[in-house]
Amino acid sequence: MEEKQAFNPFLPEYEYIPDGEPHVFGDRVYVYGSHDKFGAPMFCVNDYVCWSASVDDLKSWSFEGVIYRKRQDPKNRLGLRLLFAPDVARGKDGRYYLYYAFDFMGMMGVAVSDRPCGPFQFYGHVCYPEGEIWGRKKEDAFPFDPGIFVDDDGKVYLYSGFYTPVPSIVTGFRKLKFEGGYMVELQEDMKTIKKAPIVLFPKKGSGAFQNHEFFEASSMRKINGKYYFIYSSRHNHEICYAVGEKPDGKFEFGGTLVSNGDLFLNGNTNENHASNYIGNIHGSILQLKERYYVFYHRHTNRSSYARQACAEELVMRADGSFEQAEMTSCGLNGGPLKGNGRYEARIACNLWANGGETGRYDCRNPKKRFKKHPYFTQDRKDGDERARQYIANMQNGAMAGFKYFEIKKLSRISVCVRGNAKGKIYVSVLVDEKNKIAEIPIESKGGKWKWWTANAVSDMGIKALYFQFEGDGNLDFLEFELEE
């Protein structure tokens, strides 16, 4: 049997799980995230689901089903409010507690289950000892993006916060605080506030992380006795971390873990020439023995509302700091992909238009702004397991990059495309390389997928592959095949 490989995104092509929080419970890794709906005009329209994998095999993920529905919370019986990024922790009683915030409502709910994969039942709202819900008092800190953490001594810490003030009409006409990242200690019941919220990660002024100030996406991990706070910075496309000696003490900025445009990597800070189309980001760290991974999401469909789960392996330095991870097509594979076989174009980790142009999907009218740009999309409605994902609208100069392959003796490369176009697809192992390893002639008409082939010559080694269309018209790109 042919050995299974892992790709980015690591879940099926029809699945849209952003804001992934990976946790190990028993012998499995569970990923809890928001649930986007393909084609929706807003984030997180669907109910929560869960995916899991064996700690010994991150290449095979199993669907655990719907674990919590919007309507289960008595404050949302009509299902009008949306379930944003969740987190899960195991309490001292051995049960599993799911934390969530209803969009920008300013209220945090808790659900509980005897199993890490649910289903979860409504348990209550994070509240003060007298019973008043956190976020309902005037001048409360804004509850948002919960990061729940149970320390080795059993103490329970909840991290939260959002950079941008939300209009009071959304929060029930309550004026709430937006000072940065907050920490609140909870009682053993996992929902009652023990100590009032404090600002641990100010968004400005003294204590703020210059040029990487806190924005949202709080998460906490304990690694080798130290506390790693993971968050999304005001740049919105990068997951950062800070390190402290105590869960409620002073933290020092550590660096960038990953950017969904590879920005800050190799000195590139130009958002209009990122390695992919960027937008909001949220994720955290997974530790498996001596290996570390960062989970994050990418954006598709020229939208901020169709995000997919990705992951990369992290390199920890001797001093406990992390190198910034590069976006790849082979994130959880444990090494490069095989240099032969058939691959889907949707696993491209780099994508841009002519001249290397990209941009932010959270701009105004992104479909108009990126009308001439390539993008990831699918051919069926949301939730249809028959959906095929592909790269659409590759016009002259558009390029898709795939990293990495172990090339031994490459002889031919084929591409499966459709559209109305005439020209060539050039394949190279470096973005700026003039000597291409293959030139594939294309003369496509209509909506049927068709294969085109050319001979290829490449040196041995671990290589990236870049596919660039040059010609007239536009193409959709479904698959490619490498032959030794």
d(CA 482, CA 484): 7
**Of these residues, 216, 262, 313, 344, which one is catalytic?**
216
Contact 106, 175 (CB under 8 A): no
Give backbone dihedrals phi and psi of 369, rounded to 5 degrees, phi first: -60, -35
DSSP at 121: E
Q: What is the distance between the alpha carbons of residues 260 and 119, in angstroms, rounded to a whole number? A: 31
Residue 366 DSSP symbol? H
**162 φ, ψ to 5°?**
-150, 140
- Rounded-to-integer distance, Cα 165 and Cα 97, Å: 28
The per-residue DSSP string of 395-454 comes to -TT-EEEEEEEEES---EEEEEEEEEEEEEEEEESSTT-SS-SEEEEEEE-SSS-EEEEE
- Cα of 305 vs its chain's centroid, Å: 12
User: Residue 216 catalytic?
Assistant: yes
**What is the 8-class DSSP label of residue 157?**
E
**Cβ contacts of residue 200 below 8 Å, gap of 6+?**
159, 180, 181, 182, 183, 229, 248, 251
Sign of CA dihedral 175, 181, 182, 188: positive
> How does DSSP classify residue 369?
H
Which of the following is catalytic: 13, 15, 19, 262?
Answer: 19
Which phi and psi (to 5°) does residue 367 adopt? -65, -35
Rg (CA), the chain: 23
Q: Is 19 a catalytic residue?
A: yes
Task: Please say whether the beta carbons of 324 and 265 come within 8 A.
Answer: yes
Catalytic positions = 19, 216
